[in-house]
Amino acid sequence: MISSKLFGVAMIIYIIAALIYVSYLVFRNVKVGNVATLVTFIGLIIHTAALISRTVASFQKGIGQPPFTNLYSSMVFFSWTIILVYLILEFKFKQKTIGAFVTPIAFACLGFATLLSDEIEPLVPALQSNWLLSHVVTCFFGYAAFAVACGISIMYLIRVYFEERSTENTGILKIFPPSDLLDELTYKAIVIGFPFLTIGIITGAAWANYAWGTYWSWDPKETWSLITWFVYAAFLHARFAAGWKGKKTAILSIVGFCFVLFTYLGVSFLLSGLHSYA
Amino acid sequence: MIKRIIHFFSSLKLTIFTLILLAFTSIIGTVIQQRQNPLLYIQRFGEPLYQIFKFLGFFDVYHSWWFMGLLLILALNLLFCSIRRFPRDWKILVTQKIKLSETELQAFTSKEKITIENSTVDQTLKNVLNAMKKGGFPCKEKVKDEKGWYLFSEKGKYGRLAFYITHLSIILIFLGAIIGAAKGFKGFVNITEGEKIDSIITTSQDGKSISKKLGFEVECKKFEITYYTDEEGNPTYRPKDYKSLLSIYEQGKEEYTKEIEVNHPLVYKGIYFYQSSYGDIPTLAITVQTSEGDLVDHFKVGEKESFHFLDKNDQKIAVQVLRYLPDFIMDQNRQYATRSNIPNNPAALLQIRRSNNQTERTWVFQRIPNFPHSKSTDYKFTLTSINAKKKYTGLQVAWDPGVPVVWAGCIILILGIIIIFSVPHHRLWVTITNGGKYQTINIIGSTNKNKPSFQTIFLKFITAFKSSLADTKK
Ligand code: HEM
């Protein structure tokens, strides 16, 4: 399929972008940074074209589904949202160093997808719904924002680790943005993700109500998305409570992303339920 | 004492604690399958562990007393927190203080001091008002006293209400869920094509099936199913779509008709009828032969139906189809079941009763016509074909009067979260202290969230403000 080839091209572009971002980290040259952004953007365009071509192919086969209803297609879509959310954040906060930590995640998702079958499969009746579209899209934007937050939190912890051991402004400390800014950016990314996850859970409930007659049935996937939601709600409130800044919230953000990953992948592989299609 | 209770229930530490505890305890219910047959649990965990888990409510976590307790704590937390916070916000919304005292002025982190020389108060006031507008914070209110002027400006005042919208919406969702649990019902019904029903089957608290009258009748006029086709265009057994044409009758009169399919339910008097499954009402063709191979008769029967014939002595032999399994399998424990609804291995369990009330049972298989019968039978039964012209439609029936409340809560929650994050309340106080020939201008800014990004806005304002003042001086 053409789309699979395009996804492969996007994957290669992302790994190149990651390398350029790393050299930007090291050399701090504005031009290198701009090239990294440009390359990532080109990757995103090709990735978008691939998603469109997959959707078109699906309609031609008479199945006509949005391109994220099995693990392969949801993976390539997830990777796409990560890059999109990252570029939006980069544009808003002008912090290119984070790209070195985010583009590899997008690359890894696409890489993982290439191990799966790219077959376009027909949908069971319960999945033929517009709610599915809004549900999946919003959830994935939330997941992507949390992925970016997790990347920034890891940077934060690395930076703090070195700060505690050295007072000189060298090495990592020279390369990474100041820890306060990283802390703030983690928060910003979660502020983007949280409304999306909320809408995702609610549209999922609306879909369940139309498809199965109950808006909430404590199906494992539903429950895990709620668990994730609890963790990020705890994160948001922790920032207001005394003493919960910096390290503790960074760890909470990383734990939150582990929950996201389990909601997305673990549940489908390890637990059974209505969502076991993806 | 009461004060301490209020303090406890309105604390943010309790919020974090409850949310994290809810998150971790929710995991239990996704690891242990919920609401299964107790026998399955005992088999899996053993009797002692089963009793402990049962006591802890691990087999129905989300309805256990402690889970409900956690949700109750969360609800109380939300309520107390909102109540405790309200007077302060109300003051800010309704009676904004324009004149700040010296100590209040010291408390803010965003501040700036400018001294203007060779000007009058009135001239400076005019310039300051102009500069505030240019800087993006036009003056909303001003007061004067013997020392000088006090000016005030703000943005996103009503964004403060988002806190209440967000937090109370969660209580609204809880309320909706409680209404649904207390007054609603959930059940299912299978209707054969052409049949009418007036009651459904619901499950009571202790797991028993009970029949519930609807107060009207539902007819399945027609049931249709289409399958996906494979590469060569042959139909497969993967259903693409199934639809039922349902009609509602009130006192025998047809009131409403709708074709339903998955994701497109019929709603009547608030009761939802969802297409959830379907099945065959098969007719089995059974041939009876004597042990010598002479034909006795052919019969066409459905599951649970009977037929009979006469033996050599004109004695009646009655045969009932006890079970019909379209896709027969048997496990190690000799438990039989059907793997699917697809007739891959059709089998029927027959009960044969002689006139002396002697009964015996035997399985017959369409694919294995010579399957050995129980020895005592002097007749041979063969399942020759399965005819599945008639189907039944499987409907889930639900009535949940709490749903509108839950949706209202959800929509308010989404709006609240979006506003809480995107509409900060920025306040700006500008005081002009008159020193005769010179004036001191103090600018103080405050925000209810995200101080760093407000600091940038504040500095931008100061720059614009200063340059505007400088312009007017020229
Ligand atoms: C699941 C339940 C809850 C949800 C979804 C929720 C949601 C939110 C959100 C989205 C924010 C904004 C955070 C930010 O600006 O970074 C917030 C702030 C806050 N929440 Fe909650 N909340 C919940 C429960 C509670 C409870 C039980 C309390 C009671 C103490 C509480 C107290 C607060 C406070 C004091 C703030 C700070 C508001 C401000 O100063 O702007 N929340 N909440």
Q: What single letter denotes the amino acid at residue A211?
A: A
In a shared domain, residues A130 and A95: no
Question: Range of A203's domain?
Answer: 124-278
The protein residue whose alpha carbon is closest to atom 26 in ligand 1 is B78
Residue of A106, A8, A115, A104 whose CA lies nearest to A54? A8
Is the per-residue pLDDT at B270 higher than 70?
Answer: yes
The alpha-carbon gap from A174 to the nearest alpha carbon of chain B, in Å, equals 22
In a shared domain, residues A98 and A128: no
Ligand 1 site-directed mutation target among B7, B71, B163, most atoms within 8 Å of CB: B163
**What is this structure's pTM?**
0.81
Is the per-residue pLDDT at B451 higher than 80?
Answer: no
Ligand 1 touching residue B74 (CB < 6 A): yes
- Tens of pLDDT, residue by residue over A34-50, are 999 999 999 999 999 99
Q: How far apart are CA B60 and CA B68, in angstroms?
A: 11
> What does the CA dihedral A251, A255, A260, A262 come to, rounded to 10 degrees?
160
* pLDDT (average), residues B2-20: 91
Domain boundary among A106, A121, A136: A121
Burial code (b: 16+ CB inside 10 Å, e: under 16) for B129-140 equals bbbbebbebebb
Q: How far is CA A190 from CA A235, A244, A253, B45, in A?
A: 9, 16, 8, 40
Ligand 1 touching residue B18 (CB < 6 A): no
Q: How far apart are CA B63 and CA A101, in angstroms?
A: 42
Helix, strand, coil percentages (3-state) for chain B, rounded to 5, are: 35, 40, 25
Is the per-residue pLDDT at B344 higher than 70?
Answer: yes
- Tens of pLDDT, residue by residue over A3-60, are 888 888 999 999 999 999 999 888 888 899 999 999 999 999 999 999 888 888 877 7
Query: Mean pLDDT for chain A?
Result: 85
- Tens of pLDDT, residue by residue over B58-80, are 888 898 999 999 999 999 999 99
User: Looking at residue B338, what is its pLDDT?
Assistant: 81
A 10 A CB-CB count for A272 gives 12
In a shared domain, residues A32 and A111: yes
User: Looking at residue B87, what is its pLDDT?
Assistant: 92
Domain boundary among A81, A104, A121: A121
Q: What are phi and psi of A151, to 5 degrees?
A: -55, -45
Q: What are phi and psi of B21, to 5 degrees?
A: -65, -40
- Tens of pLDDT, residue by residue over A98-128, are 898 889 989 998 998 888 877 776 665 556 6
Paired residues of B155 in beta bridges? B426
- Tens of pLDDT, residue by residue over B99-117, are 877 777 777 878 888 888 8
Domain boundary among A121, A137, A166: A121
In a shared domain, residues A114 and A138: no
**Residue positions counted in chain A:** 278
For testing the chain B interface, which of A128, A192, A202, A232 should be mutated: the one with the most B CBs within 10 Å? A202
Of B34, B228, B272, the CB nearest to A122: B228
Tell me which chain A residues have a C-beta less than 8 angstroms from the C-beta of B414: 195, 198-199, 202
Burial class of B252 by CB neighbour count within 10 A (0 to 12, 13 to 18, 19+): exposed
Is the per-residue pLDDT at B272 higher than 70?
Answer: yes
Burial code (b: 16+ CB inside 10 Å, e: under 16) for B3-17 equals eeeeeebbbbebbbe
- Tens of pLDDT, residue by residue over B137-171, are 999 988 988 888 999 999 998 999 999 999 999 99
CA of B10 to the centre of ligand 1 (A): 11
In a shared domain, residues A144 and A224: yes
In a shared domain, residues A89 and A135: no
Percent of chain B with pLDDT over 90: 29
- Tens of pLDDT, residue by residue over B240-269, are 778 899 999 999 899 999 999 877 889 898
Q: How far is CA A48 from CA A55, A135, A251, in A?
A: 11, 20, 33
Tell me which chain B residues have a C-beta less than 8 angstroms from the C-beta of A223: 26, 29-30
In a shared domain, residues A180 and A247: yes
In a shared domain, residues A147 and A227: yes
The H-assigned helical ranges of chain A are 2-27, 30-60, 71-93, 99-114, 130-163, 172-175, 179-212, 220-238, 247-261, 267-270
**Residue positions counted in chain B:** 474
User: Looking at residue B218, what is its pLDDT?
Assistant: 94
In a shared domain, residues A171 and A250: yes
3-class state of residue B191 by DSSP: strand
Ligand 1 site-directed mutation target among A228, A236, A239, A245, most atoms within 8 Å of CB: A236
The H-assigned helical ranges of B287-326 are none
In a shared domain, residues A31 and A169: no
User: Looking at residue A63, what is its pLDDT?
Assistant: 64
Number of domains in chain A: 2
Orientation of helix A99-114 relative to helix A30-60, angle to 10°: 30
In a shared domain, residues A110 and A201: no
Highest mean predicted confidence (pLDDT) among B176-180, B182-186, B288-292, B314-318: B176-180
Highest mean predicted confidence (pLDDT) among A156-160, B120-124, B398-402, B415-419: B415-419
Q: Which pLDDT band, with edges at 50, 70 and 90, does A80 fall under?
A: very high
Tell me which chain B residues have a C-beta less than 8 angstroms from the C-beta of A202: 410, 413-414
In a shared domain, residues A133 and A261: yes
Chain B segment 418-437 residues within 8 A of A by beta carbon are 418, 421
* pLDDT (average), residues A198-208: 93
Which residues are CB-contacts of A1 (< 8 A; sequence separation ≥ 6)?
A54, A57, A118
Q: How far apart are CA A16 and CA A18, in angstroms?
A: 5
User: Looking at residue A276, what is its pLDDT?
Assistant: 39
The alpha-carbon gap from A245 to the nearest alpha carbon of chain B, in Å, equals 13
User: Looking at residue A277, what is its pLDDT?
Assistant: 38
